């Protein structure tokens, strides 16, 4: 019996198939930047990577998940960071430490991180999906704040901390995208220090 080879089983000639999730993401981010998110298909990404579309779907449930990368794993890392913080650390200081760690990106990955954030923040087609991701990130912060304060996660104060933390993080991301020379960790540190102090700081820029 002869089996007809599928696209996933036949290497693309003239190109080395990618071998890691990060390579797929880099290729996808380049295609999204060049051709637009809406018009770039999973087949386009797979062809550029020299792999089959089924390989792409082993890593991502949908095209909308690709810009977010290994987001679920990063949330697990954030939970572990929170779990390792001293019990006597002020709650908002703990949030600042965890958010800075969450955004600790290797220098070589910073251009890709910028492309990723620009795509997530500026692409209308991603907004509904992003809302779900924001909620998951916010819940990690809420769970930490609730545990530290001895309050239920649906309590007003933990929920407020979660929403405020997401808000200032987004403000830092937007500023970083506008100012190429700025440092993301510096911006995040500034806004979270301000949040720790009740935003009672002298206005800067």
- Spatial distance between the Cα atoms of 67 and 38, rounded to a whole number of angstroms: 13
pLDDT for 20 equals 81
Mean pLDDT, range 92-115, rounded to an integer: 94
pLDDT for 155 equals 97
Task: Convert the pLDDT of each residue in 31-57 to its tens digit.
Answer: 999 999 999 999 999 999 999 999 999
Task: Convert the pLDDT of each residue in 137-169 to its tens digit.
Answer: 999 999 999 999 999 999 999 999 999 999 999
pTM: 0.85
Nearest to 169 by CA among 141, 197, 145: 141
Q: How confident is the model at residue 180 (pLDDT cuts 50, 70, 90)?
A: confident
For residues 56-72, one letter each, b for 16 or more C-beta atoms within 10 angstroms of the residue's C-beta and e for the rest, the string is: beeebeebbebbbbeee
- Spatial distance between the Cα atoms of 180 and 102, rounded to a whole number of angstroms: 20
């Amino acid at each position: 019996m002869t089996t007809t080879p599928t696209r996933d089983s036949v290497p693309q000639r003239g190109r080395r198939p990618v071998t890691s999730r990060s390579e797929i993401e880099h290729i996808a981010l380049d295609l999204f930047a060049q051709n637009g998110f809406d018009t770039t298909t999973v087949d386009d990404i797979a062809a550029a990577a020299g792999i089959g579309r089924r390989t792409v779907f082993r890593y991502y449930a949908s095209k909308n998940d690709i810009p977010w990368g290994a987001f679920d794993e990063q949330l697990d890392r954030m939970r572990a960071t929170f779990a390792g913080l001293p019990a006597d650390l002020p709650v908002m200081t703990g949030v600042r430490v965890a958010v800075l760690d969450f955004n600790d990106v290797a220098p070589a990955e910073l251009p890709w991180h910028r492309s990723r954030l620009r795509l997530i923040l500026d692409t209308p087609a991603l907004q509904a999906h992003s809302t779900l991701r924001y909620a998951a990130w916010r819940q990690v912060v809420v769970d930490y704040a609730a545990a530290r304060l001895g309050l239920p996660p649906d309590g007003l104060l933990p929920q407020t901390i979660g929403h405020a933390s997401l808000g200032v993080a987004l403000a830092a991301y937007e500023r970083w995208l506008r100012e190429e020379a700025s440092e993301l960790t510096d911006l995040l540190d500034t806004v979270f220090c301000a949040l720790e102090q009740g935003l009672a700081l002298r206005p800067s820029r």
